[in-house]
């Protein structure tokens, strides 16, 4: 319970590309799918999400999608992708930053604004929550928001996060770690 007597909710914050769905890989680097036809859910994701939901976690996607600001993806396409994901997976919400680095917004990961906004909106306690991501920006945003962090390491040709709580290879492995930690409480 929080200091005001309300029950604090816990969540698993999830990056989208590389955690829930396959990224498009070019030169060993991940990119967002550009259409609904390219959006493919990764193996084990539905099972992992259902297990986390059954354990009482809110499931919240927090994703940078700068392709909208860059003009390479239409906002309507992005909305359609997220509506489809919510229709086939047990997700509570999808929060999106559509800005690019030059916009200097507080919602673009590695800044924690997207997570803290989602936490406020959904009455979530970040210290009791997790952030799962496959890039340094995801992990840094989770760390700055006060979440425990799980880095999904796909071996991309880019820097890995400097600090994280756990390194895993899939969302299913991350969910298993979270559920084991719950069992030890």
pLDDT given for residue 171 in this prediction: 98
pLDDT in single tens digits along all 185 residues of the chain:
444 555 679 999 999 999 999 999 999 899 999 999 999 999 999 999 999 999 999 999 999 998 887 888 889 999 999 999 999 999 999 999 998 888 899 999 999 999 999 999 999 999 999 999 999 999 999 999 999 999 999 999 999 999 999 999 999 999 999 999 988 87
CA angle centred on 66, ends 75 and 145, rounded to 5°: 110
Cβ count near 71 (within 10 Å): 7
pLDDT given for residue 2 in this prediction: 46
Whole-angstrom CA distances from 83 to 53, 90, 96, 99, 101 are 19, 12, 12, 20, 26
Domains of the chain: 11-184 (3.40.50.1000)
pLDDT given for residue 69 in this prediction: 79
Q: Is 134 a catalytic residue?
A: no
Cβ count near 133 (within 10 Å): 29
pLDDT given for residue 1 in this prediction: 45
Could you read off the pLDDT of 10-47 as tens digits, one per residue? 999 999 999 999 999 999 899 999 999 999 999 999 99
Distance CA 82, CA 140 (A): 23
pLDDT given for residue 7 in this prediction: 62
Q: Which tokens sit at 127?
A: 């210290």
pLDDT given for residue 6 in this prediction: 57
Catalytic residue among 15, 103, 153, 182: 15
pLDDT given for residue 147 in this prediction: 98
Q: Is 101 a catalytic residue?
A: no
Q: Which residues pair with 166 in a beta bridge?
A: 150
| Greatest C-alpha distance within the chain | 51
Which of 99, 121, 116, 117 minimizes the C-alpha distance to 108? 99
């Amino acid at each position: 319970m929080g200091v005001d007597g309300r029950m604090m909710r816990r969540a698993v914050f999830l990056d989208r590309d590389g955690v829930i769905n396959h990224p498009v890989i070019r030169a060993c680097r991940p990119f967002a799918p550009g259409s609904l036809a390219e959006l493919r859910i990764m193996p084990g994701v539905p099972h992992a999400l259902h297990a986390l939901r059954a354990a009482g976690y809110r499931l919240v996607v927090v994703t940078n999608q700068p392709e909208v600001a860059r003009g390479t993806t239409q906002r309507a396409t992005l909305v359609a992708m997220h509506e489809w994901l919510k229709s086939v997976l047990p997700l509570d919400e999808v929060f999106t930053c559509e800005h690019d680095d030059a916009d200097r917004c507080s919602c673009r990961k590695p800044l924690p604004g997207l997570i803290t906004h989602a936490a406020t909106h959904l009455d979530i306690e970040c210290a009791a929550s997790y952030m799962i991501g496959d890039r340094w920006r995801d992990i840094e945003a989770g760390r700055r928001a006060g979440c425990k962090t799980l880095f999904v390491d796909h071996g991309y040709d880019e820097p890995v996060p400097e600090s994280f709580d756990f390194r895993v290879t899939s969302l299913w492995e991350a969910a298993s770690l979270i559920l084991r930690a719950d069992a030890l409480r």
